[in-house]
Structure 1
Amino acid sequence: MFRLAHISDVHLGPLPAVTYRELASKRVIGYVNWQRSRRRFLHEGVIGAIVSGLQAAGADHLAVTGDLVNLALDGEIELARLWLEALGLPENISVVPGNHDAYVPGAFDKICRAWGPYMAGDDCEPPSDRRAFPYLRVRGQVALIGVSTARATAPFMANGFFREEQAQRLGRVLDETSRRGLCRVVMIHHPPVRGAVPQHKRLLGIGLFQRVMRNHGAELILHGHSHLPSLYWVRGQGKQIPVVGVAAAGQAPGSSKPAAQYNLVEISGEPGAWHMRLERHGLKSGSALPVELAALDLTPSRAAAARS
């Protein structure tokens, strides 16, 4: 059995000192939002509790589906690098970037340099640009496939982008890992389903992504961005693929969104007969550490029977 943990939307804080020059961009809007509300509900103590829960769970691998930072300030990017290094070795943690990690032009290149070992495929150099995605890591019988939807956007927008070039590369990776008999887990920041988030936050290229899934298949999709513990299904090659979201890892209780959570997916079985069980663990009022909140069977035939 392979145990895969999943967190997203860490939004490490507090913000470092910000200069007027750094605010002369889209960052000024994010800075105001942070001061007004985000700093009250996204803070280090909550993330520390989630990390303690993850360490106690003893997962084989950790998937982090984006938004480690808030405004992509140089100080934040460096803080996130140090946080990742304290969390574990690059071979045990797979990261994909989120929209906040690429908040302004130039930020994407900086996170590639800073977090590259956590976003590199097996036997590959750390990424230097978007052409390095998707990357592939194989752990046991599991293929971890990291997709990037992160790109700087206009003020008040938080869209993701999935374009034809990456779609072609993803299709080839999915075919290769299928031939090897691996359980294919796709990691992506923006939810690749319609209606999961408001229009100004949606993924541009949902139809293209779902076409890749229909043509090439996968066993599981993990995402962030919505700050919600969601479960959707998209069509794959003759079966339904679970699309799993998670509450923000830095979210304190008391907000309109669920308090911080992490997912734990247990993967067992064999090619053509994979079994997946999802546990959601999170903070509840009065709990210092995460507790189990729900358990779901993600094996398509069993999940369908449970819903009927």
Structure 2
Amino acid sequence: MDRGRAVRIAHLSDLHISPVPLPRPWIEAVHLKQVLGYINWLRGRGAHSRFRLDLTMAAIAGAEPDAIALSGDIIELGMSSEFAAGATILSDLLSIAPLALTLGNHDPYTPASIRRLQTYWERFLPGGATTATDPREAYPQVWSSGPLALITLCSGTPTWLFSAEGAIGRAQMQRLDAMLAALDRTAQVPVLHIHHPPDTAQLSALQRLRDGDQLLDVMARHDCPLILHGHTHRGDIRQLSCLGKRLVLAGASSASAVATRGPAAAGFNLIDLSRSDDCFHIAVSAQRFDGSAYITFDKREWTV
């Protein structure tokens, strides 16, 4: 493997494929959470568009990424018809580049949703995720190319009514810790990928990553410079300090958002990583749809 060549990742999130079908208990079991979720979706109907998602996917294809990181919330209510529609989208993305998929809080919306996603998304999920009671048991997953080790975590798990929380869990966090400790840092840089952002201060108690602080500690201890996430529907690049280490967080807005202004406009991120001499160069470019085309509205570059 040529570990010195440049690698490009396209990062998108929160597809929320529309329209959302009416929950029909005479076809499959329906949870109260799905009924309430459908009512909530009706209130915001029109916020997402399949046409806008198609434009986003075309822009990603034009960027010619080496891999695609999809940060979850592909669907809305965890019903079989949604998973079938999602499988078509995932197949289209996989035809562009290798796909690193994680789950958001809307994908395993209820315990029954886990069985459905394992059926419809088997070819897109890590092997263990298709049989485990909890798909998080199959994570972290690593996609490696050149100087990059893209490490995908899973924070999506069924939650109570009105909750959009996520959790990595102790076992997955321990596996991540061991994985980062074993990585040859002279050859590769780890970039993490998850649905929920780890900086919990910006979110309510019902939206946060429960173990976000622990994740930031693991990142800092292992000098992990960058994490990609979704969930907030805001495209932004920000940094914080943890244990004296600089950590960069890149959020992707919804790839299907109808909005064309501000951080909530449809968008995606491009991450370029290359090696030069004894350092690695990282560039994160945030792309936003301005009503006619995708433009770069923010870009950060640094070396590690």
- Please give the TM-score of this superposition, normalised by the length of structure 1: 0.87
Corresponding residue number in structure 2 for 1:178: 184
Show the 5 A alignment for 1:1-308: 1-20=6-25, 22-37=29-44, 39-89=45-95, 92-120=98-126, 127-129=130-132, 130-179=136-185, 181-235=187-241, 239-253=245-259, 258-269=264-275, 273-285=279-291, 287=292, 289-299=293-303
Which segment is superposed worse, 254-263 or 242-251?
254-263
1:23-48 CA-partner distances (Å, limit 9, x unpaired): 442011210111111x2111101101
CA distance in 2, matches of 1:182, 1:72: 36
Could you tell me which amino acid in structure 2 is paired with residue 10 of structure 1? L
Taking structure 1 as reference, are residues 282 and 90 closer, same or farther at Cα in structure 2, changes over 3 Å only? closer
Corresponding residue number in structure 1 for 2:3: none
Q: Percent identity?
A: 27
Task: For residue 184 of structure 2, give the secondary structure of its aligned residue in structure 1.
Answer: helix
Task: For residue 110 of structure 1, give the secondary structure of its aligned residue in structure 2.
Answer: helix
TM superposition shift of 1:218: 1.5
Of Structure 1 and Structure 2, the greater helix share is in 1
Could you tell me which amino acid in structure 1 is paired with residue 34 of structure 2? R
TM superposition shift of 1:238: 6.2
Task: For residue 143 of structure 1, give the secondary structure of its aligned residue in structure 2.
Answer: strand
Could you tell me which amino acid in structure 1 is paired with residue 36 of structure 2? I
Corresponding residue number in structure 2 for 1:306: none
CA distance in 1, matches of 2:61, 2:242: 33
CA distance in 2, matches of 1:273, 1:116: 38
Taking structure 1 as reference, are residues 216 and 272 closer, same or farther at Cα in structure 2, changes over 3 Å only? farther
Task: For residue 164 of structure 2, give the secondary structure of its aligned residue in structure 1.
Answer: coil
1:34-65 CA-partner distances (Å, limit 9, x unpaired): 1111x211110110110111111111111000
TM superposition shift of 1:258: 1.6
Partners of 1:228 and 1:245 within 8 A in 2: yes
TM superposition shift of 1:254: 6.1
CA distance in 1, matches of 2:104, 2:257: 16
Taking structure 1 as reference, are residues 126 and 270 closer, same or farther at Cα in structure 2, changes over 3 Å only? farther
CA distance in 1, matches of 2:261, 2:112: 32
Partners of 2:103 and 2:156 within 8 A in 1: yes
TM superposition shift of 1:290: 1.7
TM superposition shift of 1:183: 1.5
CA distance in 1, matches of 2:106, 2:96: 21
Taking structure 1 as reference, are residues 76 and 298 closer, same or farther at Cα in structure 2, changes over 3 Å only? farther
- Identify unmatched segments of 5+ residues in structure 2: 1-5
Partners of 1:158 and 1:200 within 8 A in 2: yes
Partners of 2:140 and 2:152 within 8 A in 1: yes
1:216-247 CA-partner distances (Å, limit 9, x unpaired): 23232000000111233355786312111011
Q: CA RMSD in A?
A: 2.4
Task: For residue 70 of structure 1, give the secondary structure of its aligned residue in structure 2.
Answer: coil
CA distance in 1, matches of 2:253, 2:201: 17
- Identify unmatched segments of 5+ residues in structure 1: 301-308
Partners of 1:50 and 1:282 within 8 A in 2: no
Q: Between Structure 1 and Structure 2, how many residues are aligned?
A: 294
